[in-house]
Each structure stands twice: as structure tokens, then as C-alpha cells.
Amino acid sequence: MTQITSSNIGYPRIGEQREWKKALENYWNGNISQQELLKITKEIRLNGLRKQKELGIDLIPVGDFSLYDHVLDTALMFGIVPQRFQNSGLSVSSLDTYFAIARGTREAFASEMTKWFNTNYHYIVPEFDNANPILVENRPLQLYKEAQEELGIKGKPVVLGPISFLKLGKGYKETDFPNLLEKFLPLYIQILKELEAEGVEWVQIDEPILVTELSEGEVPLIEQTYQKIAEAVPSLKIALQTYFESIHHYKKLIHLPVAGFGLDFVHGDALEVIRQFGFPQNKVLFAGIIDGRNVWRVDLEQTWGMLEIIQQIVERDRIIIQPSCSLIHVPISKNLEQTLDPIIKASLSFADEKLKEIAILADGLTSGKEKIRDQIKESTLAIQRLNESNYRGDTKEIDLDEIQADRKAAFSQRILEQQVALQLPLLPTTTIGSLPQTAEVRKQRLRWRKGDLSNAEYEQFINKEIKKWIEIQEDIGLDVLVHGEFERTDMVEYFGEKLNGFQVTKYGWVQSYGSRCVKPPLIFGDVSFRSPMTVKEVSYAQTLTDKHVKGMLTGPVTILNWSFVRDDISEFDVLNQIAIALRSEIEELEAKNIKIIQVDEPALREGLPLKKINWSTYLNHAVHAFKLATATVENSTQIHTHMCYSSFGDIYDAINRLDADVISIETSRSHGELISTFEENTYDKEIGLGVYDIHSPRVPAKEELKENVHRALATIPAKQFWINPDCGLKTRKEEETVAALKVMVEVAKEIRAEQLQTLKK
């Protein structure tokens, strides 16, 4: 009987207890040497490979590990270093060059960072201006050799494909794409030839861009690219890996000259596509049937049913079982979760558990379904227990027709009442919400969670931090203040701890960007409001100042997109439940005379489906949920929202329909590119385009900020414009935060004076 192969696409980098994050930050802070950093991260990398082997995975990915970001790894492998970092005296292969591009330096701003397709992972955008690539090092080959020499593992090297890599970058005209590809293709071929010479059997080339709506005219170039690769490395088996959706030009691209294709059978309609158009008889199907983006245990019986359908189209011995995408989007193991309710824990599947599910299914295909009968029964019962438990409640669809979802007046009337109520200056200054969370803040929170600090003692500590930062903000001269969010671990996890229907894990960390890890809460039941979540801290802050303090909430779409959501009902039903719960919180804030309330939606664009045909459904639900949450406030109460920049033009109309009074947008790393959207459209509400990048430790120069503000004011009227950083300041140090905000306020005052002088004329 033919042995069915199991495979993985990518494994989490961070370590079970975020050892990777701690090592990186210790290195950046000068606490460990480069040698120590590389030693620690090598052990994390090798441990991940060991575990995959122990869990029964046959094709183990190598080269998927990164010290920051895999797209940045690819750029540095080809010597792609932005010009502003080339005069630093550092070599292209220097680790300090690598981190400088990602984080910026005092002299040079960091490269742009944006979302990896429709996930909460962020990648560093390559800059291809005047690119003359060279192969600095064959990174996949080095990591393949390491796995073989250290562990005896003949891995599957992972390479970000040339089409996706270049499409994800910037700094060239679309018409120049073929010429740019021509520069890189020989280097890709050199990498693959060296892997072939080393005796590598399979290479995974990731081309997720193929699931997006590439034009028909681009297909021949893709075909030519892979034809050249096939001719150059005829004995190397290439698995062309896609994920997050079905391939857009499937009928043509599925016939590319590669040995195998990786398809995502969880997200999109790949099953229907292969039913309709078939699958080539000369290729291996890497079937992504285990969800790599959510944490719920798979029903092996249902998944087996899917495999039976696939086997009607593709012979069993040409099927390789794997997850739908890299497992960097889920936590590593549920074994450490000792405090979870057994019913919930039994229903979970993190990265390691997903690999077990893959190995089980591969074993079943090899030896027959009866061989895995017990595991199938166990998975079905675990899911059944959760669905029949009180946790699920009596879920009912919300009758949206019965709930008000529009403000009481149009913006043109509301803004007049807000101007009277708020009395803000021209070009008002504010921050996005969070302020630096020091080691002491984290230490006291941990003591409180362990029971070493009473509720009263912890509240006293938090109030002390709030008071300190209200005074700092007043000294700096900000116009609208924030309480700082010192009581919050994370902008979604915090609300997950306080709303019904959520469960927070202890070690459920995933990478968001760089060393930044988040712990998405689990939505396992019906979501509802329990009691006020933010009112106490914001109200206290407001007693300390005559200036307005913003209420700070995370919006319904972001809570949904940054949680692991139950999969037994529609996500849109869950979204509406969250919105109505937040509506109660907003009403509580307004009742305490909080006149500015910010409902952040940084993940709204992130959740946009990859196929445009699905956009309107998603955006209509997203807009309606935001309005459900914010509709009941008085005209004089100002609703703000904040969003992270990513192809803002795609969602401009939806942003307008949110009907928020003020929107702030993360845009500093794109340096004004977003402004073109406002040149092409008339936006009548108020807006703050982030004037400096908070993801970098550098303090911006005054002239740099002035340039950013003036560029915006060339398009956006001063009466509509706010001045703020581009994101929250939680991860920044106190001294750099204060210094940067002082520069920002000084710039705002100078430009305000210029504008007022112009108005007088």
C-alpha cells in the first residue's frame, strides 16, 4: 500500500513561551550579544523542526524561520537595501542592516510595513527603486544543510516566489515589472540549482499572489517564468504553494510546469474549482485541508468526507496532506493551557495539534479509515460536547431591522454642535490611545494576576500611571488627552476578558509584526455585555484635567478579525453580537460625560476578502456593525476611529459610510502615498493622517514632520485636519515618546500659526 505523505507549510517562530521575542528585544536593548541571539534563535528553530518530525510530518519546511519577517529575509538575500541605509557603513548581510530596515535608525526611517494579505501578520515592504539584485547568500540552502547536519532531517526548503515577492514590493512602475522580474529570475534559478545539486527532493515556492485578481495579461509572464525555472532545474520537484483563497486564473495556472500545487481547501472555493475544472494527472496535490488560521479542532469525519471527494478527482497516491497555510497564524501548543475548561480545551487545536491531525489523516489514507476510527470518534465527540454545552447558549440571529443604526443627525449638523461643545483649536493634537507600558507596568499586572497584589492595590497603581501621564500630556501641550490604557494587555484580549462569550488563553501567542506578539482571545459562545469595561479608568483620567480625555474602545470588526472565532455560526452573526455589546459600553461612557469616544478599527481593511466579488458583502456588514455600536450617542459627542494603512483607496467608500466624525490613519511609513486618495475623492469629515511612525524607536526630525503635515494640508483643509502619531505608543519607551510628541506639538503650533495668519489675510 502506498504511504501517503504528510507535509507542513510553515511553523511558528516565536517559541512556546515567546523565547524568540525575548531574545530579539534583549539584543536590541544591548543585553545580549549577536552571537547569543543567534545561538538562542537557532535552538528555537531546531526545536521546531524536531517537534514536526516527532509529530509525524514527512515534508518538514526549512527556511520558513525568520528573525523578523520572511519577506525582509528574501529582500536581504538578494541585496535589496534601500538607499538611505546604504551609507551607514554596514554590509548588506549585516544583522544590524537587517534590523535597521525593519525598525529604522536615528538617521533613516524604517521601510513600510503592511498586512500580509488578509491576515494580522505584517511584512516589511521591499523597495525596488533602481534595484540591482545580487545573490548575497543562498539562505534556503544554508537552512536545509543545518537541518540535515544537526537533526538528520532532509527538509523541504521554502522560498518566497518571484512573482509574489516583486508584487508585494514598491518603487517601480507596473510597466517595469517584466524588466524587474528579468533581473531576479537568474538569481532564483541559481538558488534552485544549488538546492538541486545538494540533492533536495522538494522545494516549496510560495506564490500566494496567484489567489489575487491578477490581470489576464500577466498570465503569460508567469507561465514563461516557471517554464524557465523548469528547464533550469529539471530534476527538482517544485511545489507551487498558494493559500488564503483559490487560484484566480486556475484553468491556465494549474498547468504551470511544476511537480505539485498547494491549494487551500479551507478558505475560498478550491474544492468546487477542482470539481469543475479538474486537476492535472501529472501533478501532486498538496491538499490544505486543516485550517491554519483558526484554533478549533477539525471534525475528522467531515474532513475525511472532503478527502473522499478530492479522491474522486485526484488519485490517492498523488495527494499530500497539509494545513491550509503556514501555522505562524496560530499558537504553538495547547498543552501549556492548564486553566482552560476541559470542554473548551478539548475543542482546540493549535499548531502542534494540527500537525497531529495531518498525520492522522495521512495514516488513514495510507492504511484505511478503520485505522483511525478512534481518533475520528474522539474529534467528533469533543466538538459535540462543546456544541451541546451551556457555552453555546441558545444562539439566535439578531433582528437588525429593530435596532437603530444611524446617528441622529448628519455630520454637517453634528460637527457644529461638537465645535461648540468641545472648543478645540485649529489642527488639534492628540495620540491614538495607548501610552508606553514599562517593565514596571507589566510587572505589577503580573503580580495582580498571580494574586500577589490586591484589586485595590492594582487600581491604585494604575491610577498613579494615569495621573502621571495626564500631567505629561498637559506639559507637552496636547489638546485631546488619553488615559493611556495601562490596565490593558492588548486592545482585543482586554475586551475578551470582559465580554461574555470569550475565553482568554495564557500562552496562545502569535506574531503580529517583528517581535510584537498578540494573544487573540477565543470566541466560543454568544457575545454580550456584562458590565462597564473602560469607564472607571477614563472617568478617573477626566477628573484630573480640564481638557477632553478620549474614551478608548476596540471596534467590532477588529475584535472579530483579531480573535479566534467560533465556526458553528456565521462570522457576521458574531460581529453583530460584538457591536451591540460595545454599544452598551459607549452609552456608559457618554453617561459619564465623556464627549470624545474612539472606536478603533485597524483591522477593517485587513478583513477584506481577496476576491472583489466578495467585497461588498463584507464591507456592508463591517459598516453596519460599526454604526450599530456608535449610533445612539448625542450629536455633540464626537466619535473617532483609527485604522492602519493598507490600500486605503480600496475601502474609501466604506470608510465614509462608517459616519465617524474623525478618522485617524496609520500612514507615516508610506510617506503621503495615501493622500492621493483624498485628491481623487471629497472627504467631508475630519481626519488625522499619522505624521510619524511609532513602530520605529527613532525620534522624528521637526522638518520631517512639517513636510508630512504640509503635504497633507495641500489636499485636506486645515479645519478638517488633526495631528497625531500614526498608531498607539504602547511599545515605545517613555523618553522617546515624550521627545517625539514634543516635536509633534511644536510643529502643530507653528503650522497652526501659519494657517491662522493666512486666514487673517
Give the model confidence (pLDDT) of 531-554 as tens digits: 999 999 999 999 999 999 999 999
At residue 729, the pLDDT reads 87
The candidate with the shortest Cα–Cα distance to 750, out of 682, 703, 691, is 703
Residue 462 has which C-alpha cell? 494604575
- Confidence label for 1 from pLDDT (cuts 50, 70 and 90): low
pLDDT averaged over the chain? Answer: 93
Do residues 661 and 434 make contact, with C-beta atoms less than 8 angstroms apart?
Answer: no
Residue at grid coordinates 501621564: 469
The candidate with the shortest Cα–Cα distance to 597, out of 605, 606, 587, is 587
What sign does the dihedral 634-635-637-639 (CA atoms) show?
Answer: positive
Do residues 665 and 648 make contact, with C-beta atoms less than 8 angstroms apart?
Answer: yes
At residue 394, the pLDDT reads 60
- Report percent pLDDT > 90 for the chain: 81
Q: Give the other-Cβ count within 10 Å of 89's Cβ.
A: 8
Indicate whether 448 pLDDT > 70. yes
Provide the residue type at 357 as one letter: E
Residues 637, 560 within the same domain: yes
Residues 375, 450 within the same domain: no
At residue 184, the pLDDT reads 98
Angle (CA) 563-567-571 rounded to 5° is 65
What CA–CA distance (Å, rounded) separates 229 from 186? Answer: 9
Q: Is 470 inside any structural domain? A: yes
Residues 344, 464 within the same domain: no
Does an H or E element contain 721, and which? strand 721-722
Residues 588, 701 within the same domain: yes
Residues 26, 162 within the same domain: yes
- Confidence label for 756 from pLDDT (cuts 50, 70 and 90): confident
Instruction: Provide the annotated binding site for 5-methyltetrahydropteroyltri-L-glutamate.
Output: 18-21, 115, 120, 516-517, 562, 606
Give the model confidence (pLDDT) of 30-46 as tens digits: 999 999 999 999 999 99
Q: Give the other-Cβ count within 10 Å of 127's Cβ.
A: 21
- Confidence label for 599 from pLDDT (cuts 50, 70 and 90): very high
Indicate whether 646 pLDDT > 70. no
Between 196-200, 282-286, 718-722, the lowest mean confidence (pLDDT) is in: 718-722
Give the model confidence (pLDDT) of 225-275 as tens digits: 999 999 999 999 999 999 999 999 999 999 999 999 999 999 999 999 999
| Helix, strand, or coil (residue 239) | strand
> Edge-to-edge strands of the sheet including 564-565?
500-503, 522-528, 564-565
Q: Is 288 inside any structural domain? A: yes
Does an H or E element contain 666, and which? strand 662-666
At residue 109, the pLDDT reads 87
What CA–CA distance (Å, rounded) separates 645 from 689? Answer: 10
Backbone angles phi, psi at 280, to 5 degrees: -55, 140
Residues 444, 334 within the same domain: no
Q: Is 420 inside any structural domain? A: no
Residues 537, 667 within the same domain: yes
What sign does the dihedral 257-263-269-273 (CA atoms) show?
Answer: positive
Residue 638 has which C-alpha cell? 464626537
What CA–CA distance (Å, rounded) separates 174 from 308? Answer: 43
Q: Which domain holds residue 183?
A: 19-387
Q: Is 509 inside any structural domain? A: no
- Residues acting as catalytic residues: 695
At residue 761, the pLDDT reads 62
Q: Give the other-Cβ count within 10 Å of 76's Cβ.
A: 23
Residues 434, 567 within the same domain: yes
First to last CA, the chain: 88
Which of 360, 387, 414 marks a domain boundary? 387
What CA–CA distance (Å, rounded) separates 651 from 668? Answer: 19
Q: Is 410 inside any structural domain? A: no
Residues 372, 443 within the same domain: no
At residue 395, the pLDDT reads 56
Indicate whether 596 pLDDT > 90. yes
Q: Is 11 inside any structural domain? A: no
**H helices, E strands: number in the chain:** 26, 20
At residue 227, the pLDDT reads 98
- Confidence label for 647 from pLDDT (cuts 50, 70 and 90): low
Residue at grid coordinates 557603513: 89
At residue 524, the pLDDT reads 95
Region 312-332 average pLDDT:
97
Indicate whether 516 pLDDT > 80. yes
What CA–CA distance (Å, rounded) separates 443 from 449? Answer: 10
- Confidence label for 100 from pLDDT (cuts 50, 70 and 90): very high
Residue 444 has which C-alpha cell? 505589577
Instruction: Provide the annotated binding site for Zn(2+).
Output: 642, 644, 666, 727
| Helix, strand, or coil (residue 647) | coil
Indicate whether 283 pLDDT > 60. yes
Residues 338, 472 within the same domain: no
Instruction: Provide the annotated binding site.
Output: 18-21, 115, 120, 432-434, 485, 516-517, 562, 600, 606, 642, 644, 666, 727
- Confidence label for 308 from pLDDT (cuts 50, 70 and 90): very high
Residues 689, 744 within the same domain: yes
What CA–CA distance (Å, rounded) separates 727 from 600? Answer: 10
Do residues 557 and 624 make contact, with C-beta atoms less than 8 angstroms apart?
Answer: no
Provide the residue type at 299 as one letter: D
At residue 645, the pLDDT reads 58
What sign does the dihedral 531-537-538-539 (CA atoms) show?
Answer: positive
Indicate whether 402 pLDDT > 80. no
Q: Give the other-Cβ count within 10 Å of 142's Cβ.
A: 13
The DSSP annotation for 487-528 comes to T-S-TTHHHHTTSEEEE--SS--EEEETTEEE-PPEEEEEEE
Q: Is 627 inside any structural domain? A: yes
CATH number of the domain residue 226 falls in: 3.20.20.210
Q: Is 588 inside any structural domain? A: yes
Indicate whether 154 pLDDT > 70. yes
At residue 675, the pLDDT reads 66
The candidate with the shortest Cα–Cα distance to 304, out of 321, 317, 280, is 321
Does an H or E element contain 539, and which? helix 535-543
At residue 403, the pLDDT reads 85
Residues 709, 560 within the same domain: yes
Cα 70 → chain centroid:
14
Classify residue 320 by its DSSP letter: E
Number of domains in the chain: 2
Between 318-322, 524-528, 754-758, the lowest mean confidence (pLDDT) is in: 754-758
